[in-house]
Every structure is written in structure tokens, then in C-alpha cells.
Amino acid sequence: AVSKWENGWNLPDYDNLTEIARALNISQTALMSDDEKFELVYRSRLFNEDNMFTKIKTLALVDGFENTLKALEFMRKKHSGQFRKISKFVSDGDKVKYINHPLMMACHAYAMGIKDDEIIAAILLHDVIEDTDASLDDLPVTDSIKEIVSLVTFNKPDGMAKEEAKEEYYKRIAENDKAIIVKIIDRCNNLSTMAACFTKQKIVEYIGETEKYIIPLISIIKNKSIQYSNVAFIVKYHIISVIESIKPLI
């Protein structure tokens, strides 16, 4: 329906107007009117955390992912009472439990064909050390998973500038393929929700950090691992699409 606009025509293609109006659940008059005011409905969450928890637990049981099953329960307990940053466009009554974030990441990983107990478990635990009172030794998973979680946990040593700490942080992640996967999926999910809760300046800084550090990480995993080349493409496409869509609005 927009093909004529894209080719420089001034009028819309009326041929498919009925189908478009039906798909949007509005009248044809409203679709074409400049005076009609539409009120956007904002989502407090992309997907329900309870449904995602059940999905990941079911998949982990089917695949025999013992670490993922342990990580699920541990993550839920440790993040209890924590919530994601509140959207500027929804009421306080729509607070989103923090576990929505790691669960969304885990579902995303599974949807991209990642069936790896270590990666899924590390995804679920990736913020536990940074945001709760848990220590690395407390994690009920293997040492290799603890290593992934340690790598993706940001820590700024005393006396070190934040930017220098970031550079060291991303250098360490770049040395571990599975840590790269966890980090790029983490950033992908955060970018998807940042517009609703970040200030414009924070969005600009976050995009800058993404372009400086995350995009190169994606290139590293794409060039190093045939196994994750499709994952790299999907995540890069998602990230760049979000970034380029937001840039004109800030």
C-alpha cells in the first residue's frame, strides 16, 4: 500500500486500503484522516515472566539441562522483590519483575536455536552477582558457568576510570565465546526497552557504547564460530534496527 509513496507519488495506494484498515482494526476514514487522534498503548512488558519461566523450565527438563534448572530457581529467589526500570508511559501498578529480563534473554536464545546448558544458565544468572548479595561461589552451577557469569559482571576497580574499566571488561568478554553470546543478547534485550525508561542523554550514551563495544563483539563471534554465525546475524540485525530507528527521534 505504501509502494506508490515510496516511488514518489503523493497519494496512497487505495487498492489495499480495506485490508490495511481491517488489520489495524480501524475505519478507512480514520486511516486516511489527518484530524483523527490515535492514542498509543504502551506495553509494560514484552512478554509475561510467569509464562517465560514455565517455558524455560519445560525446555530445560526436556533437554536435561540441570544447570539451567538450578539457575532458574536461584535467580528467581535472588531477584525477588526487584523490578525493572519503570517505563515513563505506564503506571506504577505495572511494575515488571526483574526476572522478566533474564527470562526474556533465555527465551530469545532458545528461539535462535541455542541449546546449551552453560549459556542458558549463565544468561539466567548474569545479573545475580552485580545486583544481589550473592557471590560467585554461591551460584549452584559448574565452574565454567561461573566463569561466564564472572566475565559479564561489570566491576570498576578503585582508582580506575569508568571508560578504562569498560575497555578491560569488554576485552575479557571477547576471549570467551559463550560470554560474548550472553552479553550481546543482554544488550539486545536492553535496547528493546530503553526508550521507555532512559533519558535522551542516557539513550545517546547507550547507543554509543553499543556501537563501540557490542557491534565489534558480534563481529568477533561471527568470524570465530560457524556455530553462532546465524545468532550473530540475528542479534546484529535486531540491534542495528533498533538503534537506527531511534536515532532520528532523539
Instruction: State whether 53 and 28 are in the same domain.
Output: no
pLDDT value at 2 more than 60: no
Instruction: State whether 18 and 69 are in the same domain.
Output: no
Instruction: State whether 26 and 130 are in the same domain.
Output: no
Distance of CA 244 to the CA centre of its chain: 16
How high is the pLDDT of residue 36?
58
How many angstroms separate the Cα of 47 from the Cα of each of 55, 143, 239?
12, 31, 19
User: Confidence band (pLDDT; 50, 70, 90) for 197?
Assistant: confident
How high is the pLDDT of residue 31?
66
Q: Is pLDDT larger for residue 10 or for residue 242?
A: 242
Instruction: State whether 134 and 186 are in the same domain.
Output: yes
Instruction: State whether 139 and 27 are in the same domain.
Output: no
Instruction: State whether 13 and 81 are in the same domain.
Output: no
pLDDT value at 83 more than 60: yes
User: Confidence band (pLDDT; 50, 70, 90) for 196?
Assistant: confident
pLDDT value at 59 more than 90: yes
| CATH code, 240 | 1.10.3210.10
Q: What is the mean pLDDT of residues 31-41?
A: 67
pLDDT value at 144 more than 80: yes
Instruction: State whether 108 and 199 are in the same domain.
Output: yes
Judge whether 181 and 231 are in contact, CB under 8 Å: yes
User: Confidence band (pLDDT; 50, 70, 90) for 67?
Assistant: very high
pLDDT value at 93 more than 70: no
Q: What is the mean pLDDT of residues 127-143?
A: 98
List the grid coordinates of 88: 515513563
Q: Is residue 235, in this structure, part of any structural domain at all? A: yes
Q: What secondary structure letter does DSSP report for 113?
A: T
Instruction: State whether 22 and 118 are in the same domain.
Output: no
Q: Is residue 180, in this structure, part of any structural domain at all? A: yes
Within 10 angstroms of residue 56's Cβ, the number of other Cβ atoms is 24
Q: Is residue 43, in this structure, part of any structural domain at all? A: no
Q: Is residue 169, in this structure, part of any structural domain at all? A: yes
**Own/partner long-range contacts of 188-192 (Cβ < 8 Å, ≥24 apart):** 188/108, 188/235, 188/238, 188/239, 189/101, 189/104, 189/105, 189/108, 190/101, 191/238, 191/239, 191/242, 191/243, 192/46, 192/238, 192/242
Residue 57: helix, strand or coil by DSSP?
helix
Structural domain harbouring 15: 3-32
pLDDT value at 37 more than 70: no
Q: Which of the residue ranges 22-36, 93-107, 203-217 has the most confident prediction, judged by mean pLDDT?
A: 203-217
Alpha carbons 99 and 246: distance in angstroms, whole number:
26
